[in-house]
């Protein structure tokens, strides 16, 4: 890997694409981890309890940093699986490891142009490629592919070409097997925990995300569904420049949500953007039963308008998940019950989708009910909102809220954590998206009570 001129991570000049190469790289990492584990365990024999706890935290962080760095170099499915471990891992990995693995979401080096160019040439053909001027410096780099800006010569149409890294689709099965062994060798996963369901889900997700034809379908589906809503922009697909490894769409300009141009918008306009973010999520889940489940800020752009008609650009539909009607209806029971303080409805929905079991201790069920009622705080009435989180209109102050931390402490500090280890996969991805909505509204410093909006969509179920 080269270094850029600022001393940061430069581009990767070659990829280990063969299973044997990738297995050797990760096996060497695992063997190195084994020696460090032995040394750490011996040192712990001579430490008191408080010193041992601090040493364990430092050790987990170092192990996770080594793992994250190697996964970032390998790219492909092991890196994406590492990202997923940061998502699932909140239920079973040390907090320090989750924090480090989360960095894989956006701190990854791009791949050199000569590595991805053959994929593009094979995907759309050299004749089609000659129609375009492609910027060899990537616009964005991810675990499974990277995006390059381009311009069509005949009409100046601005494009974005998403190119899949060579060999990643073929390496998924081998990568998953190796990574599962590696997690155990680095002692990041608890002994005795069955991670097979987690890796099965990661495997399925990876096969879905390297399927650019399905991503193309979802991009066009979202564009159609939001066609008449002026608040949203979905890129147009250019099929003549697409293949199973290449996806080309229109380039859609916009600002990052943290840019000054967005942060300085008047409160009313930021509230309108906040309401749009909430409503599109509610539409996705309750009406369309399909959710774009990867909500990091790179997948959204804000397009401020001089007339105040600001728009949200929605990008990257490769992580779209489809939910069955039964799951949506049961989840609606939980949400409806939480808003109305209906314990039986909450438990009925929780049991139906596998979050709870009827035979759990009453203390666990009580905590689950309390947790659900807490989570819907922004959607409740003013009487159930902390006074410090309401403005004089009774609207929820998303930017001032510490709700995620309060909910996390509640789940971790009682019997719920013993029984509620790794939730059903639908919940993991749905809550990932829901957390993204909360973070987006907090970043916009939205002031919004979304109760009526939520009730509107609940009535449709």
At the top level of CATH, the class of 112-164+211-252 is alpha beta
Taking a C-beta distance cutoff of 8 angstroms, is the pair 274, 441 a contact? Answer: yes
Residues 296 and 404: their CA atoms lie apart, in Å, by 16
List alpha helices for 250-402, DSSP H: 260-263, 267-282, 325-340, 343-352, 362-375
End-to-end CA, the chain: 52
Residues 316 and 307: their CA atoms lie apart, in Å, by 28
Domain boundary assignment for the chain:
19-106+169-191, 112-164+211-252, 253-461
Taking a C-beta distance cutoff of 8 angstroms, is the pair 127, 64 a contact? Answer: no
Nearest to 73 by CA among 155, 10, 119: 10
Residues 195 and 201: their CA atoms lie apart, in Å, by 10
pLDDT (tens digit, 0 to 9) for every residue of the chain, 461 residues total? Answer: 443 433 345 666 654 445 545 454 445 444 444 444 334 344 444 445 556 556 556 666 676 666 666 665 655 556 666 666 666 655 566 666 666 566 555 446 788 999 999 999 999 999 999 999 999 999 988 778 899 999 999 999 999 999 999 888 887 887 777 777 766 666 566 666 667 777 777 788 788 888 999 999 999 999 999 999 999 999 999 999 999 999 999 999 999 999 999 999 999 999 999 999 999 999 999 999 999 988 778 889 999 998 888 999 999 998 899 999 999 999 999 999 999 999 999 999 999 998 888 888 898 899 889 999 999 999 988 778 889 999 999 899 999 998 887 887 776 666 555 665 566 778 877 888 888 899 899 999 999 989 999 999 998 76
Taking a C-beta distance cutoff of 8 angstroms, is the pair 337, 345 a contact? Answer: yes
**Residues ≥6 apart with Cβ < 8 Å to 250:** 157, 158, 159, 160, 235, 236, 238
Backbone CA torsion sign across 414, 418, 419, 424 = positive
Residues 374 and 414: their CA atoms lie apart, in Å, by 15
């Amino acid at each position: 890997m080269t270094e850029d001129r600022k001393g940061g991570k430069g581009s990767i000049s070659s990829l280990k694409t063969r299973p044997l190469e990738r297995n050797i790289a990760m096996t060497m990492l695992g063997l190195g981890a084994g020696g460090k584990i032995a040394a750490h365990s011996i040192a712990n024999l001579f430490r008191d309890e408080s010193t041992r706890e601090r040493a364990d935290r430092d050790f987990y962080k170092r192990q996770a940093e080594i793992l994250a760095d190697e996964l970032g170099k390998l790219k492909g499915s092991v890196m994406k699986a590492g990202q997923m471990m940061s998502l699932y891992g909140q239920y079973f990995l040390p907090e320090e490891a989750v924090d480090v693995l989360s960095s894989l979401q956006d701190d990854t080096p791009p791949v050199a142009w000569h590595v991805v160019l053959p994929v593009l040439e094979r995907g759309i053909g050299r004749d089609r490629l000659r129609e375009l001027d492609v910027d060899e410096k990537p616009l964005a780099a991810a675990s499974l592919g990277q995006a390059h800006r381009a311009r069509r010569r005949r009409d100046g149409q601005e494009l974005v070409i998403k190119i899949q890294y060579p060999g990643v689709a073929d390496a998924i099965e081998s990568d998953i097997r190796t990574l599962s062994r590696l997690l155990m060798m680095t002692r990041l996963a608890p002994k005795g925990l069955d991670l097979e369901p987690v890796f099965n889900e990661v495997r399925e997700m990876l096969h879905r995300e390297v399927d650019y034809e399905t991503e193309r379908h979802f991009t066009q589906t979202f564009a159609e569904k939001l066609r008449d809503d002026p608040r949203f922009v979905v890129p147009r697909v250019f099929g003549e420049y697409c293949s199973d490894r290449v996806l080309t769409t229109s380039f859609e300009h916009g600002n990052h949500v943290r840019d000054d141009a967005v942060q300085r918008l008047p409160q009313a306009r930021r509230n309108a953007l906040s309401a749009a973010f909430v409503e599109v999520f509610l539409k996705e889940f309750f009406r369309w039963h399909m959710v774009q489940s990867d909500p990091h800020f790179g997948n959204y752009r804000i397009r401020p308008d001089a007339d105040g008609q600001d728009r949200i650009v929605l990008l990257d539909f490769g992580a779209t998940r489809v939910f069955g009607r039964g799951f949506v209806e049961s989840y609606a029971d939980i949400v409806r019950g939480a808003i109305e303080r209906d314990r039986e409805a909450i438990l009925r929905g929780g049991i139906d989708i596998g979050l709870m079991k009827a035979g759990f201790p009453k203390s666990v069920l009580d905590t689950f009910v309390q947790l659900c009622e807490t989570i819907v705080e922004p959607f409740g009435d003013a009487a159930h909102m902390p006074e410090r989180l309401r403005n004089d209109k009774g609207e929820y102050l998303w930017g001032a809220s510490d709700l995620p931390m309060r909910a996390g402490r509640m789940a971790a500090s009682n019997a719920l954590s013993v029984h509620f280890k790794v939730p059903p996969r639908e919940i993991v991805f749905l809550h990932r998206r829901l957390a993204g909505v909360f973070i987006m509204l907090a970043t916009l410093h939205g002031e919004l009570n979304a109760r009526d909006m939520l009730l509107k969509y609940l009535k449709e179920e």
